[in-house]
Structure 1
């Protein structure tokens, strides 16, 4: 399989890329690193990436940002960071990427536990995660039998525990193996329109 992984050099992405690289052709795209550069907030940049990759069998996005701050401090512009990047960036990857998928191909988007179990300072991040869940479930209803669209929603992963543990007090970090397996289930399984939750 030829697999495009956007954000394939991040904390989670590098483990996912490493796994799929064992038996597949993997192309890693990122804002500042990878085989290709892409800015997912810019549809033209996304199209430029797809024009370079050509047809692929799977698209995985493990990218996108949102502003973390207290609700009282978040401005309208702060919310637009998450809307333009993590939400519309992934929506546009799915929307434009369909034309570059081989028959039987899949698209996997990424969110996280905040959609279901938010913590303080995540009003914006939780909002876009929940929106992606709704988008994927609705869009999947209109895909032909040749294509699939899923979302992987992870809890706090082990490799990011030290950085985020103060936000997620009492949460049990999940192993990187479990995190990778969630993406494997999306790519190699038959799921469509599902939120693959891996929180424990």
Structure 2
């Protein structure tokens, strides 16, 4: 399969790449790095990425930003960062890709643990994650041409512990190998409309 991997340079993206690249052609996409460049906050940039890549069989997204801050310090603007980037950025990857992806293709998005196991200052991330779960459930029953859609929801990766571990006190760390296998399950398997939890 020819797979577009958005956010390939991040820890989750690298886990997906390592798990999928042995059997598939991976086109790595990122804002500043990769085989093609894309800003998922800009729908025209997304369309240009698809135009550059051409025909493809699957889209994997491990991209999107959220703002971490105590609830009292959050504002409409800080919440909208996650809604515009992590939520709408990934949704727009799907919307722009619907007519371009091959029959029986798949979209796999990425959320995270915080909507089901919250931490202090993580409300923005929890909100974005919950929205993605709802989008995938709703979209799955309407996708044409036997297309599939899922979202991988990993806990904090061991590879990310040094940078983000202080935000996740007491949380179990998950291996990159297990996260990678979740993406394999979504891309190579038959499930759709699912939140694939890795914890």
The bucket for the TM-score relative to the shorter chain is: over 0.9
SS in 2 for 1:165: helix
Shift in Å at residue 159 of structure 1?
0.2
Structure 2 CA distance, aligned partners of 1:80 and 1:179?
27
* CA RMSD, 1 decimal: 1.0
- Say which is worse superposed, 159-168 or 49-58, in terms of deviation: 159-168
Where do 1:35-184 residues align within 5 Å?
Answer: 35-144=35-144, 146-184=146-184
Q: Distance in 2 between matches of 1:194 and 1:172?
A: 22
Structure 2, unmatched stretches of 5+, are none
Stretches of structure 1 that go unaligned for 5 or more consecutive residues are none
Quick one: distance in 2 between partners of 1:20 and 1:159? 18
Q: Equivalent residue for 1:4?
A: 4
Residues 91-115 of structure 1 show CA distances to partners (whole Å, capped at 9, x for unaligned) of 1111111112111100000000012
Determine helix, strand or coil for the equivalent of 2:99: helix
Following TM superposition, the consecutive aligned residue runs of length 4 or more in structure 1 with deviations greater than 3 angstroms are: none
d(CA) in 2 for partners of 1:128, 1:15: 21
For 1:30, the equivalent position in structure 2 comes to 30
Shift of 1:75: 1.5
Number of residue pairs matched by the alignment: 199
After superposition, the C-alpha distances for 1:146-165 in whole angstroms (9 at most, x for unaligned) are 20000000001110112222
Distance 2:18 2:167 in 1: 28
- TM-score normalized with structure 1 length: 0.96
Measured in 2, the distance between the counterparts of 1:75 and 1:172 equals 30
